[in-house]
Structure 1
């Protein structure tokens, strides 16, 4: 937790995908302070015509390296979210050559009762976490 769902254009190599996922995980660790083994990531690859990401009137240009990331998480403070956005863009640029103009993030907030990590239990409610 958090759960990260990436939507990207198909065609990246396994090495490129791993670099993207590792960069995002490192941003989560640094911004949110979660344990290193707290890693849940899903990648959805799409043909370019199936991933439309426009600029919302901000004049932002996108390329075929665009990444749409949905983060589902317990509530985070605004400064933690802003730190995450910044770190994510820095790490994706440094490790993957993805420009910050190609990174779109949406945060979805939920609570402990909304998570089960297995065995049919809500571990935040049972006290296991």
Structure 2
């Protein structure tokens, strides 16, 4: 289609894509995760490009993925840290305000009650 001895020069390619209404943007991504039913594909420091062709966005990821089982924590993350992220700080603050409990007690009560504010308050009163 484009014929020639070694391909197009990148500048010429960008001009042609712009003429066809295709906008290309580099994304400074730290990590890209693709979740499947069985595992996650995790790309760290991947090159990510977004192409917008008349409203249709397409993403291209270039890099080597690490395959992780679903639910496996990234290296360097401890389980307590991951659990703390599950309970919103606002919910902890509400339970502390209503019961006068310490923050760690409120968080534990929310975890024990699957994030149910009323049940956590009842448990601590």
TM exceeding 0.5: no
**Greater RCO (CA < 8 Å, at least 6 residues apart):** 1
Q: What TM-score results when the alignment is normalised by the length of structure 1?
A: 0.21
Higher percent of residues as strand: 2
Q: What TM-score results when the alignment is normalised by the length of structure 2?
A: 0.22
